[in-house]
Amino acid sequence: MKNNEKTTNIFLSGVGGQGAILASNILGEVFLKAGYDVKKAEVHGMAQRGGDVTTHFRFGKKVYSPLIKYGDVDFLLSFELLEAMRYINWVKPEGKIIINKQQIYPPAVNLGLMKYPEDVEKTFKKFFKDNVWVVDGQGIARSLGNLQAANVVLVGAFSNFFPELKPEQFIDAIKGLLAPKLHDLNIKAFYEGRKAL
């Protein structure tokens, strides 16, 4: 497993309450158990009060900086369209982008002072061509009967980019991090997400 000398940079972005933190915790467990060094920096200043949340997640043989270098993101995993757009410049030209279709209006849009960007998907495709995947996390989670699981749907979709890792490794992490009564739902969410790409 330790053949990858280079550090991989994953940038997670979303809005407080979307569960981006759980998603990054799952990744942390998975890559640590797979034998990598891991560093993760969360910026959640006042997320509880509706602000944006970002996590810099890095894994590799030896990781020094907890922060990803601007412009060096390999994977942008975003839970919300505007929060994906906000970090578009961070992604490497050959980087991959996985976006949840959800829109959460910020106050300026709610108050009619600014427009919500309409063309997020198109903008990403313009710059990153086929390296853009859009997932309907809410739709899938709703079909499973619980919107809360949208974050794990996204993790499931994202797991496809690491063929060397088995689904069981993710499931173990999910089980380790969540209360038993949430296991079934989230395991289903993971597999549905995995099928979605």
Partner 1 sequence: MKKEIMQGNAAIARGAWEAGVKVAAAYPGTPSSEILREFAENYPDIYAEWAPNEKVALEVASGAAIAGVRAMASMKHVGLNVAADPLMTLAYTGIKGGLVIVVADDPNVHSSQNEQDSRNWTRFGKVPMLEPGDGQECKDFTKIAYEISEQFDTPVLLRSETRVSHSDSPVVLEDRVEPKIVPGLDPKEAPKYVMVPMNVRVRRKFVEERMKKLEEYANTFKYNIMEINDTSVGVISSGVSYMYTKEVFPEWSYLKLGMVWPLPKKLITEFAKKVKKIVIVEELDPFFETEIKAMGIKIWHGKDVIPNMYELSPEIIEKALKGKKYKEPKIRVKPEDLPRRPPNLCAGCSHRPLFYALKKLGAFVFGDIGCYTLATAPPLQAIHTTICMGAGVGQAHGAMKALGKEWLGKVVAVLGDSTFLHGGVTPLMDIVYNKGNATTIILDNMITGMTGHQEHPGTGFTARQEPTHMIDYAELGKALGVKSIRHVDPYNIKETMDIIKEEMNKDEPSLIICKDSPCMLLRRAKPLERFKYPFYFVDNDKCRGCKMCLEINCPAISWKEGEGQTKDGHKRKGTAYINKDQCVGCEVCVQICKFEAIVPGTK
Residue of the chain from 110, 122, 166, 183 that contacts partner 1 (CB under 8 A): 110
Minimum CB distance to partner 1, residue 132 (Å): 12
Contact call for residue 1 and partner 1 (CB under 8 A): no
63's tokens: 């990781």
Contact call for residue 69 and partner 1 (CB under 8 A): yes
* Contact criterion met (CB below 8 Å) for 50 and 43: no
Contact call for residue 121 and partner 1 (CB under 8 A): no
179 CB neighbour count, 10 Å cutoff: 7
Minimum CB distance to partner 1, residue 158 (Å): 18
Give the phi and the psi of residue 131 in degrees, each rounded to 5.
Answer: -85, 25
Rg (the chain; Cα; Å): 16
Minimum CB distance to partner 1, residue 184 (Å): 25
Contact call for residue 51 and partner 1 (CB under 8 A): yes
Pairing between strand 37-43 and 52-60?
Answer: antiparallel
57 CB neighbour count, 10 Å cutoff: 25
What residues contact residue 142 under an 8 Å CB cut-off, 6+ apart?
none
- Nearer Cβ to partner 1 (96/188): 96
Contact call for residue 67 and partner 1 (CB under 8 A): yes
Contact call for residue 107 and partner 1 (CB under 8 A): yes
User: What angle (nearest 5°) sits at the alpha carbon of residue 162, between those of residues 160 and 164?
Assistant: 120
Contact call for residue 50 and partner 1 (CB under 8 A): yes
Contact call for residue 85 and partner 1 (CB under 8 A): yes
188's tokens: 């289903």
Residues in contact with partner 1 by CB under 8 A are 15, 25, 28-29, 32, 37-43, 45-52, 63-72, 82-83, 85-86, 88-90, 93, 105-117, 123, 127
